[in-house]
Amino acid sequence: MIHLYCRHHHGKLKLCHDCGQLAAYTRERLGNCPFQEGKTVCSKCEVHCYKPEMREQIRTVMGYSGPRMIYLHPVMAIAHLVDKRRKEPVRVKSGIK
């Protein structure tokens, strides 16, 4: 989604510096998510992993790219819509006691 946003707003085939930083930040945060595969969507999550300013940036990106995903990546968009219908995130149990 960030690539799509950057390509249409900044005219670059590769991510610009700001979008690259946002992509790296989101990968880092999602990698540390306590729900992992059991997560539905970030908007339904009660644990906010992103800093407020980064959360606003990603909302802007998703607001632009989200509606366009159905045309570019229909399978991924449909899977996202199915995940959005799930009730709440499921916390992954760790083996650490």
**Long-range CB contacts (within 8 A, 24+) of 6-15:** 8/64, 9/64
Instruction: Sort residue 15 into left (φ over 0), alpha (ψ -120 to 50) or beta.
Output: beta
Q: Could you tell me the residue ranges of all domains in the chain?
A: 2-85
Give the pLDDT means over successive 10-residue stretches in the chain (97 positions): 85 85 88 71 69 88 82 76 65 49
pLDDT at 24: 93
**Which pLDDT score is estimated for 21?**
92
The pLDDT value recorded for residue 97 is 42
Q: What is the pLDDT of residue 50?
A: 80
**Structure tokens given for 59:** 């909302």
pTM recorded for the entire structure: 0.65
Predicted confidence at residue 34, as pLDDT, reads: 73
